[in-house]
Amino acid sequence: MAGEDKKQQPFDSKAASSLVAELRGAFASGTTRSYQWRESQLRGLLRMTDEHEQDITAALRSDLGKPELESVLYEAAMLRNSCKFALKELQRWMMPEKVKTSLTTFPSSAEIVSEPLGVVLIISAWNYPYCMRHFSFFIFPVSFASFTILFVVPTFFLHYLSVLSLDPVVGAIAAGNAVVLKPSEIAPATSALLAKLLGEYMDSSSIRVVEGAVPETTALLEQKWDKIFYTGNGRVGQIVMAAAAKHLTPVVLELGGKSPVVVDSGINLQIACRRIIVGKWGNNNGQACIASDYIITTKDLAPKLVDVLKNELETFYGKNPLESKDLSRIVNSNHFTRLTKLLDEDKVSKKVVYGGERDPTKLQIAPTILLDVPRDSLIMNEEIFGPLLPILTVDKLEESFDIIKSGAKPLAAYIFTNDKKLKEHFVNNVSAGGLVVNDTTVHLAVHTLPFGGVGESGIGAYHGKFSFDAFSHKKAVVYRSFMGDAAIRYPPYTNGKLRLMKALLGGSILGILRALFGRS
C-alpha cells in the first residue's frame, strides 16, 4: 500500500487479496453506483488539481525534468477538463439507451443499461503520470497582402477534453466502479504524490493507490479483477494479458509501436516540420506512445525536409538544445543507455545529419535526425520512445504504404499531403489506432474520438464517453407485458406454426400474412 503502511509491511499476494476483498465489499454496498458518489469523486479530483498544482509541477520536474508550461497545461489543466467533461455528460451517460424491438417480441420495449463492472485495476504509465500522453499545438496561417502571420494556439483552447493518463481513472469512477491505481515506479515523485493526494481527496473505501515495482504489480495481477487497464509496452502487455486470462478478466491495453509520418511534396513544409517537431520533441522529448517514430519521404524531397527540420529545431530549442529548458530529459539511466545503443550501432551512427549530442550525467539527449537508416537496424525494429527521428527515403511515395504495412500495426500514423487520392489511399489502406492528415498527435485532443490501438499496438479504446463505456457493462433489457401471448412458441409444433415463425423471424409483413392464411 501507499505511504507509511507500505513501509511497515510488504505488499504481497495476501495484502493484495485483502485489498480486493475490501473493495468488493464497498462495491457490493452499492455506494459507487449512485450519481452522487460519482459526482463527488470527480469533483474531488478537480479540487485536488486546483489546490496542488505547484506540487504536481514540482514532482514532474523531479521525475522528468518537465518544463513548467508542459506540466501546467499538459497535466493539470487537462485533468481538470477531463473531469469537467465527465461531470457535464455523466447524467446523460448513465441514462438507459432506448432501442427498437422486433415483431418477434411484439409488444415489447427494450433498452441498454450501463452498469459498473465492479472492481478494476488501472496500471498507469510513467511518461505522463498525471495527465495527458500528448499535448500539441494548432498552427494556422493568416495571409495578408504581403505577409503571413502564423498563429500558434494550444489545442487546449480548441478542444474541451484532452488525453490523460488519469483519464482511465476518470472513466472508471464515472462508470461507478471501485478502483485500484498502480502508478509507475519509474516516476517515483509523481507516484508518491498521487498516492498521497488521492488518499486525501478520494473515497478511500472504494479508490486506492498501490505504489511499488514488479513485486507489487505481480501481487495485484494474481487477483481476480473485473477489468484491467494497462498503459505501457507490449512485453509487459503480454504479461498483463496472460494474468488476466487466468480469471477470464477483460483488458484494455494501450501499448505503442512505430508511428510513421509520410511527407509528400507540394505542401507547406515549414508548417509540416513544426507540427512534426512539436509532436516528437515537444511531446516529452519523444517519450510518448504516439510520438512520431520515423519519417518516410521521397529521395528528392529528403534534403529539403532535413534542412527545414534543422532550422525549425534551432528556432525552438536554440543552437545548443542540451541547454534548453523546453526539452524534457530521459526518464532514467536504463532508457538513456537503450537510446544510446540505438544511436551507436555501426550501421546507424554515420547516418546522423543533425543532433546526436548527449549528456549522461543529466540524462539529456538532443533532438537527433538520421537519414537513410537501414531498415534492418535496431532503431527501425523497436519503438524508439525518445528524441531520435530516422528518415527513410523511397522513389515514389506510394511505396511508403508497403513499408508501413510490412511492420506491426502502429498506435498512430500521420501523413502530410495535399493530394486527395493519396489521403484516401492512406485512410483506406493504413491500419493504425488512429490517423491524422496534415498534423501529428492532435487526434488525442478530440474527445468525440476513441483512443486505442489495433493489433500489437493495443486492445480496446477510451477517452470521453469511450472511457465510461470501457468500464461499463452494456446490459440488454427487454420489457414485456402479459398481453399478446402467442401460441406459436408453445408445443405442439405444427407446420403452420413453423411457417409463421419463419415469417416473423424474417420480418416480412407479406410473409406473415401468407403464413396466417395458410399459403406457402
User: Which residues participate in catalysis according to the annotation?
Assistant: 254, 289
Torsion of CA 463, 467, 468, 473, to 10 degrees: 150
Query: Is residue 121 within 8 Å of 229, Cβ to Cβ?
Result: yes
Angle among Cα 134, 138, 142 to the nearest 5 degrees reads 170
Query: Is residue 356 within 8 Å of 342, Cβ to Cβ?
Result: no
Cell numbers at 458, concatenated: 493495443
DSSP H helical segments within 114-166, as ranges? none
Contacts for 102-105: CB closer than 8 Å, 24+ residues apart: 102/507, 103/504, 103/507, 103/512, 104/504, 104/505, 105/478, 105/480
Query: Is residue 363 within 8 Å of 217, Cβ to Cβ?
Result: no
The Cα–Cα gap between 191 and 185 comes to 7
List, in sequence order, every residue forming a beta bridge with 475; answer none if it has no partner: 113
Torsion sign across C-alpha atoms 389, 393, 397, 401: negative
List, in sequence order, every residue forming a beta bridge with 459; answer none if it has no partner: 253
Query: Is 410 in a helix, a strand, or coil?
Result: coil
Q: Cell numbers 495485484 label which residue? A: 220
The Cα–Cα gap between 470 and 450 comes to 10
**β-pairing, 434-437 with 412-416?**
parallel
Residues belonging to the chain: 520
CA 348 to chain CA centroid, Å, is 31
The Cα–Cα gap between 155 and 325 comes to 22
| 364: amino acid identity, one letter | Q
List, in sequence order, every residue forming a beta bridge with 391; answer none if it has no partner: 295, 371
The Cα–Cα gap between 278 and 499 comes to 65
Query: Is residue 45 within 8 Å of 201, Cβ to Cβ?
Result: yes
Query: Is 195 in a helix, a strand, or coil?
Result: helix
Cell numbers at 470, concatenated: 470501457
